[in-house]
Amino acid sequence: MSNFITAFLPCRAGSERVSKKNIRPFASCEHGLIEIKLSQLISCEAIDKIILSTNDNEIISYAEALKEPKLNIHKRSELLSANGTSTDDLIKHARELVPSGHIFWTHVTSPFVNASICVKIIESYFLSLSKGYDSLMTTTPFRGFLWNEQGPLNYNRNIEKWPRTQTLVPLHEVNSAVFIASSNVYAQDLDRIGKSPYLYQLDRFTGHDIDWEEDFLIAEQLLNVNLVSL
């Protein structure tokens, strides 16, 4: 299989939690998160092709105006754009749009995974393949005390009731910034990761995911005080 990388960017109209999240102004960017992410993907030399899958006519108009040969716009059906559309359905959709090569699945809601970070992630992906992994996903390491009603989940109080958090084995929160797998993995496993994904760690600022209104506001402030870059 060739090393051809296609970025798959799903971006539906509307948002239940953040109004017009994908295209409302963000910091100094008039067209917001879609402007940021498309700019990052277009400038990333490791990405050969971009497929923007959306039913949002405003986003389509903006993307068409870029006249970028690397960018392919797919008008997604309303059936695949409903609030109840499952990620499993989108995985099948991505496989249909990208029948060969490697799929770099990303979201506009991760604005701080910029072009240079994308290159590093892709390099790590191909290196991980040579080490027996079959895919990659970005995570944010978590060290803290996790409990349910039965007790702690990630440490043993019979050994130490309150261990130092630095000594806890880190868990990994999937931050949904990037998933990479070959089209073969999509076909065989019906998933955007395989059975042995490499966990690529991002720090909490870089991996910041915009899901709620407060996430949007926090992201703007992180940028304003130069803790992150686009």
For 180, the 3-state DSSP assignment is strand
Condensed to tens digits (0 to 9), the pLDDT of residues 105-121 reads 999 999 999 999 999 99
Q: What is the pLDDT of residue 52?
A: 98
Burial class (CB in 10 A: 0-12, 13-18, 19+), 117: buried
pLDDT tens profile 65-84: 999 999 999 999 888 888 78
Q: Residue 182: pLDDT above 90?
A: yes
Q: Residues 226, 228, 230, CA angle at the centre, nearest 5°?
A: 110
pTM listed for this prediction: 0.95
Picking from 7, 197, 38, 199, the residue whose alpha carbon sits closest to that of residue 101 is 7
Q: Residue 63 is encoded by which pair of tokens?
A: 């993307």
Number of Cβ within a 10 Å radius of residue 16? 7
Tokens of 18: 């953040």
What the block records as the tokens of 183 is 């089209």
- Residue 104 scores a pLDDT above 80: yes
CATH topology of domain 5-139+173-224: Spore Coat Polysaccharide Biosynthesis Protein SpsA; Chain A (3.90.550)
Please state the domain extents for the chain: 5-139+173-224
CA distance 58 to 37: 16
